[in-house]
């Protein structure tokens, strides 16, 4: 049985205070939590005391995993923040879309840090290959992307049938259907 309160120590250079706070927020329903710096100020110490009726088994692992999840989610959010902004621009002003790949791309690159927005050369090449394989002429809008779904009176243009999605993933050995079936006893 783990000793209470359990102490979990984080290196703030690796796990930001926000990531630790995010995990704490989620765990407040299960534990009483205190946070403080170590004496040398180089570590953050989380002390967890399980609430009544909450199993302490695996609590530390769960808390560490949740902190890691928050840390990853923060990096994703930060890394893709400029794209989020651009999509909001497009929602309110569809004309913005036409600037993508041209003026807007340049604008983004000059405003952003050097890594931002630009896909890596390898990824761009891959996408080009996939595009040419599928003979997609986006200028002609063969998928009807620019047509709002309300006007189509049917399924939206971006609908991908989950079965097709699964089949394609299975064909490409991305998922193991048998494993998936084991997860769901249905």
Q: Tell me which residues in 47-86 interact with other proteins (CB under 8 A).
A: 61, 64-65, 68-73, 75-84, 86
Query: Closest CB to other proteins among 1 and 184?
Result: 184
Nearest CA to 43 out of 75, 71, 6, 7 is that of 7
Phi, psi of 34 (to 5 degrees): -120, 150
Cβ of residue 1: shortest distance to other proteins, in angstroms?
Answer: 20
- State in angstroms the smallest separation of the CB of 41 from other proteins: 21
Segment 19 to 48, residues that bind other proteins, using CB under 8 A: 22, 25-26, 28-29
Q: Is 142 in the site for other proteins (CB under 8 A)?
A: no
CB closer to other proteins, 1 vs 186: 186
Instruction: Report the nearest approach of other proteins to the CB of residue 131 (Å).
Output: 9
Site for other proteins in 144-183 (CB under 8 A): 145-146, 148-150, 153-163, 165-169, 172-177, 179-181, 183
Binding segment for other proteins (CB under 8 A), chosen from 1-9, 18-26, 33-41, 42-50, is 18-26
């Amino acid at each position: 049985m783990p000793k209470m309160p359990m102490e979990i120590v984080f290196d703030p250079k690796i796990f930001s205070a926000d990531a630790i706070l995010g995990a704490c927020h989620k765990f407040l329903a299960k534990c009483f939590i205190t946070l403080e710096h170590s004496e040398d100020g180089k570590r953050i110490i989380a002390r967890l005391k399980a609430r009544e009726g909450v199993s302490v088994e695996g609590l530390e692992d769960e808390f560490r995993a949740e902190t890691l999840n928050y840390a990853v989610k923060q990096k994703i959010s930060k890394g893709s923040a400029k794209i989020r902004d651009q999509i909001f621009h497009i929602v309110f002003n569809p004309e913005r879309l036409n600037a993508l790949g041209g003026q807007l791309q340049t604008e983004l690159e000059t405003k952003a840090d050097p890594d931002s927005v630009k896909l890596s050369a390898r990824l761009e090449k891959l996408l080009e290959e996939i595009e040419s394989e599928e003979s997609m002429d986006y200028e002609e809008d063969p998928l009807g992307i620019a047509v709002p779904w309300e006007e189509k009176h049917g399924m939206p243009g971006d609908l991908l049938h989950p079965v097709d999605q699964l089949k394609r993933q299975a064909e490409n050995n991305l998922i193991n259907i048998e494993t998936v079936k084991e997860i769901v006893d249905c």
